[in-house]
Structure 1
Amino acid sequence: MALLDLAATADVRLSPAPVGQGRSSARHAPSRAAQPDPGQPSLAGVLRRLGTNLLVACVVPAVVFYSLFVAFGIWPAILSALAWSYGATAYRALTRRRASGLLLLTAAVLSVRTVIALLSHSTFVYFIQPVLTDALIGTAFLLSVFTARPVVARLAGDFYPLTDEQRARPALQRLFRRLTLLWALALLAKAAAMFALLQTQPLGTFLLAKSISIPLTNATCIVVTVLAATATARREGLLPRRTAILPAWALRTSRATS
């Protein structure tokens, strides 16, 4: 339960509000796009929230699955990974905390894969499930690009508390669409590549290629997403600029050493 509490307590730290500013300083204050709202979270808080949600929704189910697969076989692994996702979701509901969209998506995907696995005992059918899942999710991401609220826009609240006004900003709308398109293309490319390998390569070669290419692709997309979102958030005043961070760090350092 301590791990699940992490997701609830990984709230972003708020920057202290400015005190003692007179009218003259207010007249010369930078625009909203240049200076972040004092109530907005820090970059470290956003990354901590992102890491916690990924840990609960993705990393732990994967570790549970592979650990139990090695120790007890395929069926305990499948059911245990699904049980973790359901348990994490139920814990959030019982404690009246909102489950992240990523956790709900993981539970839904694992539910479909488990039902198919229970209805079929074919090795090919089992390993084709992630391929079909990537293809379906990638298609959903791609179609949502043409809607008023792309998938990334729906998931953004899990990692950064956005108001309706902030979500409606043109720069953020462009960011959401571009990142949704990025993930859609990555998912569809993974599905196509894994399907080709599954059809043409021995199972050992397929598993080796999958264990290398999938984490590498996911890590690349995550890095691009974080960098693009950070740059946009700084331009929009949702995160402090580097020029604002460095003077504050230097001031704290000088005070500590004086």
Structure 2
Amino acid sequence: MLLHALPRFLEGVIAPVAVFYAALVLLGLNGALVAAVAWVYGGIAYRYLRGHQVPGMLLLAAVGVTVRAVLAAATHSAVVYFLQPTLGTLIVSMSFLASVPLGRPLAKKLAKDMAPIPEAFLRHERVHQFFLRISLLWSMVLFANVIISLWMLFNESIGMYLWFRTGIVAGLGAVGVGVSVWGFRRCLRHVNAEPARAGSPSA
């Protein structure tokens, strides 16, 4: 899974930062905005020419980047370009948080979308509690992402924001993934052990 995710991480996180920063240094803000948009559409063109399916999320990302670039160019502000996805992250964080008291953890919905998990397993009370806790965890991870991003965006240079914020956010995400995987494995062990307990003489 990590080997599968690494090229996507490089293409979607590291490379856009490098492209934007290099163009910013060499060509200025407008050049950086053009380079950022060209990178996304270049990825779409590369997939199309090689006969690969272009994911719908990539098309939506292209539209989003285009709108962000137009607004940033109109206001002559790089802050406007980076502020928009940060506000989007805040909305996602609040969505994770709101799903907890409602008893409909967003993490469970995402897990169902990404993997064929049996409904009987998802209805288990321990599993439901796990997804509630993980939804709360990711709400906190994303909110920390927002706080760090906003502070650096308004207090540091764009160069500092690009590189240090990217590293910090990647680190937060790695911690969140690690805790999620550890918690899910622990939850599986408890759920799988229950029938054995039920059939034991002491049960």
With normalisation by structure 1, the TM-score equals: 0.57
**What is the rounded CA distance, in whole Å, between the counterparts of 1:136 and 1:82 in structure 2?**
26
Superposed displacement of residue 68, structure 1: 4.2
Superposed displacement of residue 227, structure 1: 0.6
Residue in 2 aligned with 1:209? 164
Distance 1:59 1:138, change over 3 A: farther
Instruction: Kindly provide the amino acid, as one letter, of the partner of residue 211 in structure 1.
Output: T
Residue in 2 aligned with 1:76? 35
**What is the rounded CA distance, in whole Å, between the counterparts of 2:41 and 2:106 in structure 1?**
23
* Aligned counterpart for 1:167 among listed residues 122, 133, 152: 122
- Say if 1:113 and 1:129, in contact at 8 Å, map to a contact too: no
* Cα shift readout 1:108-164 (whole Å, capped 9, x = no counterpart): 566434322223312110122232122121112212223353221122135542111
* Higher RCO (CA-CA < 8 Å; seq separation 6+): 1
Instruction: Kindly provide the amino acid, as one letter, of the partner of residue 147 in structure 1.
Output: L
Residue in 2 aligned with 1:114? 66
**What is the rounded CA distance, in whole Å, between the counterparts of 1:167 and 1:194 in structure 2?**
34
Within-5 A mapping of 1:1-258: 48=1, 52=4, 54-55=5-6, 58-66=9-17, 68-69=19-20, 70=22, 73-81=32-40, 84=43, 104=57, 108=60, 111-121=63-73, 122-157=77-112, 159-237=114-192
Moved more, 200-209 or 168-177: 200-209
SS at 2:104's partner residue? coil
SS at 1:141's partner residue? helix
Superposed displacement of residue 219, structure 1: 0.9
Distance 1:127 1:197, change over 3 A: same
**What is the rounded CA distance, in whole Å, between the counterparts of 2:41 and 2:133 in structure 1?**
31
**What is the rounded CA distance, in whole Å, between the counterparts of 1:146 and 1:79 in structure 2?**
42
Superposed displacement of residue 182, structure 1: 0.6
SS at 2:192's partner residue? coil
Unpaired runs of 5+ in structure 1?
1-47, 94-98, 239-258
**How many pairs were matched up?**
179
- Say if 2:137 and 2:176, in contact at 8 Å, map to a contact too: yes
Q: How big is the alpha-carbon RMSD for the aligned residues of Structure 1 and Structure 2?
A: 3.3
**What is the rounded CA distance, in whole Å, between the counterparts of 2:167 and 2:180 in structure 1?**
20
* Cα shift readout 1:183-217 (whole Å, capped 9, x = no counterpart): 11111122122212222223333334313311111
Unpaired runs of 5+ in structure 2?
24-30, 194-203
- The percentage of aligned residue pairs carrying the same residue is 22
Distance 1:210 1:128, change over 3 A: same
Larger radius of gyration: 1
**What is the rounded CA distance, in whole Å, between the counterparts of 1:149 and 1:85 in structure 2?**
35
Distance 1:209 1:56, change over 3 A: closer
